[in-house]
Structure 1
Amino acid sequence: MTDISVTLVHSGLAAEAAPLVDKLVADQFASKLTAQDATLWGPAAEPEASIRLSWTTLHETSRPLLAEIDALRAELHGEGVDRVVLAGMGGSSLAPEVICATAGVPLVVLDTTDPAQVADALAGDLERTVLVVSSKSGGTVETDSHRRVFEKAFQANGIDPARRIVVVTDPGSPLAKASAEAGYRKVFLADPHVGGRYSALTAFGLVPSGLAGADIATLLDDAASAAPALSADSADNPALVLAAAFSAAHARGAEKVVIADAGSGIKGFADWAEQLIAESTGKEGTGLLPVAVEGIDAPGFADAREDATPVSIGGAAGAAAVAVAGSLGGQFLLWEYATAAAGRLLGINPFDQPDVEAAKKAARALLDAPADETTAAPAISDGPIDVYASGLTGEAAGWADKLFAPETETVGAALKALIDAAPEHGYLSIQAYLDRNDDASIAVLRKEIARRTGLQTTFGWGPRFLHSTGQYHKGGHQNGVFLQITGYSPEDLEVPDRPYTLGVLQKAQALGDGQVLAEHGRPVLRLHLTDRAEGLVHLVKAVQDSL
């Protein structure tokens, strides 16, 4: 018997969603999805869908991994190795992070190129450390950089890297081959017919979580318990209800999915759901933009019902609240089914990510041949913050005129100009290319700006968000404005056998994504903190004084 449930809190949304649920039931969507029918999203999506649907049965097919993970954990503990560092991006890090945080077990997650944050991870007890390298191909530049940095650090401390590196990858991938040649401790091969954002219950989610000490057997049990209800062609199927609510709200102009936790005990779930929803639906000029907020009393969240909301969904522009309850394993499967169903209702392919690669290409181009912008003078210097503006041509032309007026050359004026450029029902995306640990206070900007402007406001750590909401920013509704925050790194880290440092890579990722957004006609404001501590204080004060 499953404990998952979806409640449409207000009757108006329920009435609009009901015919959509009936259509999904009549189409036998749920049972066909469980049977991995690749035709559900139309002929154009079929080639991709045909190799991306094995996640519907992972609660069964992932069982053999449990004994392997337990055995490796026992071996490592027998050698005094009990600190797990995970190098992975997107789905390779987000699911393990929420699993371990919810279970209350430590896991060091490296999904950053910030030199200080990586240095913090290196400063831990390497004698007790195992590095889990998670990548479907091994070509992810961040993860490859982490592997190189840790391999060198192990060697420098007299530790055999091969004994301390565990790999999760797809069968036949370049990383699988390289790992075999390097003799790494263990290589776990994940199901290749599962995309990254649907991989929570594959080896990508289970290996680092299990090695860290999370109860992954119960996680699979909970998903198995939810599976029958999610596979049923029934109007009571919670995944169909949730998908229909998304689609009905979207039809009335509410494309923002504002997610808040109200005491579920599931920690960080919104960050995982954010990638799933944004990357699956944000394409072809449509989609659903997840907005993760601090709680049901946060700005940007409306009509929540606290007594029924372990995870709630609310929003502006006519969207009513939805209450979602259930165990973590059940929630993983519920939201995956619901997102796939929402893709059908929205008429898009929920398994590709056509716009993610654009930012990667732009970053690589900057690494290979740095553009003028990497050394360009700022438009404004205001104390410890240098201000740069992009998106000055095309649809966004003229938004930053105020930046160049002498009487308004301040960070506050720049922020106001950016926010004023947001169209009706648009949104602001804050993207912090900083240290997620030491610079964590910057996240307060989301709440402050949303409260002061009424603008739907998202917050993402760079480059982590590039593997998540980055797809929506380029492929979804083109009504966003973008605030990038970068910072000076007094101590950089070399990437062994690569012609760049982590700091250079981090800057290239920020500039590359900003360039792609500007090419889409979107306004982009980059604030570079020449001193991180002073710059953060100055920035928060500018928000408070000017908005």
Structure 2
Amino acid sequence: MAGEETTVRIADENLAAKAAPLIGKLVADQVASKLTAQDPTLWGPDAESESSIRLSWTTLHKTSRPLIGEIEALREELRGEGVDRVVLAGMGGSSLAPEVITGTEGVPLTVLDTTDPGQLADALAGDLQRTVLVVSSKSGGTVETDSHRRIFAEAFAEAGIDAARRIVVVTDPGSPLAQLAETEGYRKVFLADPHVGGRYSALTAFGLVPAGLAGADVARLLDQAAAAAQVLGDDNAENPGVVLGAAWAAAHAEGAEKVVLADSGSGIKGFPDWAEQLIAESTGKLGTGLLPVAVDGPDAPGFADAGSDATPIAIGPGIPAAKIATGGTLGAQFLLWEFATAIAGRLLEINPFDQPDVEAAKAATRALLDNPASLEDGGSPSTVDGSVEVFAPEGVDTTGTLADVLRSFLATAPEHGYLAVQAYLDRLDDASAELLRPELAKRTGLQTTFGWGPRFLHSTGQYHKGGHQNGIFLQVTGNAETDLEVPDRPYTLGKLQHAQALGDGQVLTEHGRPVLRLHLTDRAAGLAQLVRAVQEVAR
């Protein structure tokens, strides 16, 4: 049968037993077929108005077909002009799926989902004569993406390049970006289906256009999703979307509010990072939800040694430590996890299509940018240790070394809580910051997430404010060697990045969550010092 390769296996007998009655109820209620038919009543009357305009993702394997020819035609045009370097400016759902698609297919795509001036400077240093910029924003007003567009447009002009001919837009119909693109005469505008939310948009123009222009086979991706759709719409107990959604909800009911995601040889590159946004933003609200913990692999701390508060999930062949394993092609996995997330939302009694707590951090950032004096230093540090300035929350002892400060801060974590490491740095040049997650997870026993700021604000940021309120937050910020002006805006990229860190920290503090900010006055030296301090923290 077509789509047989899309599989979900619950390896844990206890979890399978707990999920069985939920699966039976979902089948009896015909949830899978109703979801395929885009029934907006599945999540209750409070969610109906939102869900009624957010369900077109269930048929994208059909409705996105016309994009294939448009993308290929534009790619051939550009290549005929010597333009074969694709840079994507997008956040959250506008960047995560294209990055997975191109990574899996091994085609180059430069992704800008940052406000770090060093990372932008590196992208600008590429061959602009060969570069096309894809500007992707559903709302059309994403501040990071608008800043990228402004900076690149100026750089194109300074290089003697017609910027309008090198900018391609993906947005919703009628958005400010769509209007601007028309006014400026940008090369091509792809209007995405407005009835698909950003995190469900992998198979819309947001996922397909940048990936296709970079050289990925997007037709094959849609074929894979089409095969999976044949089984995901069936009302039976073997439906992998039903099984996965029920397993998540059953685990959550038993206290496993975290899902630890590791690739186990699927051949798909970076899938946990994409799934992280989907699950966190869809379920993390009203004080409940599932916290996705993306780890490097099955041997990473937090997976094989997951406690009772977490469910290890393998993407690929099943492995001994995994309680759940999922299998299938990339297009199939996209659709499978979207179905499962929507179904889990029904079982958790939340609306999986809104994100009520995302705006708070954006508003705090805007307020800080409107008051530049507040950005000068974010207040005085509690203490300074070498290249690290410490901004500690109330109750954390700052009289000792950096390792002592970390010990005191980590002690604020509640039982079965979690630690979120948030690095407002350059995810290429400062990649060693990712060492912090496994080192802290190994030494604390806490489920530990890692996110590059402000990228994570568009994914786990919703869960941090709206989900289970048992997290503690380690922010890492740093001085930038150079900064970049944002044309026609009263702030630099570095100031925007700083405002985003302070703004989110402010909102988390207002939610009663501990936030420890470590500011690196010298990034390289400070990161090395921080890793050493973490290694001194005993479990």
Q: TM-score range by the shorter chain?
A: over 0.9
> How large is the Cα RMSD of the aligned pairs?
1.7
Q: Does 1:300 align with 2:302?
A: yes
- For 1:299 and 1:207, the matched residues in 2 are separated by 36
Give the structure 2 partner of residue 75 of structure 1.
Answer: 77
Unaligned runs of 5+ in 2: none
Counterpart of 2:533, as a letter, is A
Give the structure 2 partner of residue 201 of structure 1.
Answer: 203
How many pairs were matched up? 531
Q: Residue deviations 1:106-144, cap 9 Å, x none?
A: 000000000000000000000000000000122100000
Q: 1:483 aligns with which of 458, 471, 474?
A: 474
- For 2:407 and 2:193, the matched residues in 1 are separated by 47
Q: Residue deviations 1:509-532, cap 9 Å, x none?
A: 000000000000000000000000
Is the contact between residue 240 and residue 336 of structure 2 (CA under 8 Å) also seen in structure 1?
yes
- For 2:181 and 2:264, the matched residues in 1 are separated by 43
Counterpart of 2:446, as a letter, is L
Task: State the SS of the aligned residue for 1:466.
Answer: helix
Give the structure 2 partner of residue 248 of structure 1.
Answer: 250
Q: 1:108 aligns with which of 103, 107, 110?
A: 110
Is the contact between residue 117 and residue 482 of structure 2 (CA under 8 Å) also seen in structure 1?
yes
Is the contact between residue 247 and residue 342 of structure 1 (CA under 8 Å) also seen in structure 2?
yes
Give the structure 2 partner of residue 174 of structure 1.
Answer: 176
Is the contact between residue 83 and residue 131 of structure 2 (CA under 8 Å) also seen in structure 1?
yes
Task: State the SS of the aligned residue for 2:392.
Answer: strand
Give the structure 2 partner of residue 384 of structure 1.
Answer: 387
Q: 1:308 Cα shift?
A: 7.9
Give the structure 1 partner of residue 452 of structure 2.
Answer: 461
- For 1:44 and 1:417, the matched residues in 2 are separated by 42
Alignment of 1:409-420 (within 5 A): 410-420=401-411
Give the structure 1 partner of residue 97 of structure 2.
Answer: 95
- For 2:202 and 2:292, the matched residues in 1 are separated by 18
Is the contact between residue 91 and residue 197 of structure 1 (CA under 8 Å) also seen in structure 2?
yes
- After superposing on structure 2, the runs of 4+ consecutive aligned residues of structure 1 that deviate more than 2 Å are 302-309, 311-315, 370-375
Q: 1:490 Cα shift?
A: 1.6
Q: Residue deviations 1:367-394, cap 9 Å, x none?
A: 001464743210010000000024x3xx
Give the structure 1 partner of residue 520 of structure 2.
Answer: 529
Q: 1:184 Cα shift?
A: 0.1
Q: Does 1:511 align with 2:502?
A: yes
Alignment of 1:322-341 (within 5 A): 322-341=324-343
Counterpart of 2:245, as a letter, is A
Is the contact between residue 278 and residue 471 of structure 1 (CA under 8 Å) also seen in structure 2?
yes
Sequence identity (%): 73
Is the contact between residue 147 and residue 486 of structure 2 (CA under 8 Å) also seen in structure 1?
yes
Q: Residue deviations 1:390-424, cap 9 Å, x none?
A: 4x3xxxxx3x1x12xx3x2x221121112110000
Is the contact between residue 313 and residue 322 of structure 1 (CA under 8 Å) also seen in structure 2?
no
Give the structure 2 partner of residue 362 of structure 1.
Answer: 364
Q: 1:45 aligns with which of 47, 50, 53?
A: 47
- For 1:121 and 1:307, the matched residues in 2 are separated by 35
Q: 1:303 Cα shift?
A: 7.7
Is the contact between residue 488 and residue 532 of structure 1 (CA under 8 Å) also seen in structure 2?
yes
Unaligned runs of 5+ in 1: 393-397
- For 1:55 and 1:309, the matched residues in 2 are separated by 22
Is the contact between residue 84 and residue 208 of structure 1 (CA under 8 Å) also seen in structure 2?
yes
Is the contact between residue 243 and residue 338 of structure 1 (CA under 8 Å) also seen in structure 2?
yes
Alignment of 1:116-131 (within 5 A): 116-131=118-133
Q: Residue deviations 1:204-224, cap 9 Å, x none?
A: 000000000001000000000
Give the structure 2 partner of residue 395 of structure 1.
Answer: none
Q: Which moved more, 1:374-383 or 1:73-82?
A: 374-383
Q: TM-score, normalised on structure 2?
A: 0.96
Task: State the SS of the aligned residue for 1:226.
Answer: helix
Give the structure 1 partner of residue 151 of structure 2.
Answer: 149
Is the contact between residue 48 and residue 351 of structure 1 (CA under 8 Å) also seen in structure 2?
yes
Q: 2:442 aligns with which of 426, 451, 458?
A: 451
Q: TM-score, normalised on structure 1?
A: 0.95
Task: State the SS of the aligned residue for 1:422.
Answer: coil
Q: Which moved more, 1:283-292 or 1:297-306?
A: 297-306
Say if 1:62 and 1:308 are closer, same or farther in 2 by CA, change over 3 A. Answer: same
Give the structure 2 partner of residue 228 of structure 1.
Answer: 230
Give the structure 2 partner of residue 421 of structure 1.
Answer: 412
Q: 1:307 Cα shift?
A: 13
- For 1:426 and 1:370, the matched residues in 2 are separated by 35
Task: State the SS of the aligned residue for 1:19.
Answer: helix
Give the structure 1 partner of residue 486 of structure 2.
Answer: 495
Q: Does 1:310 align with 2:313?
A: no
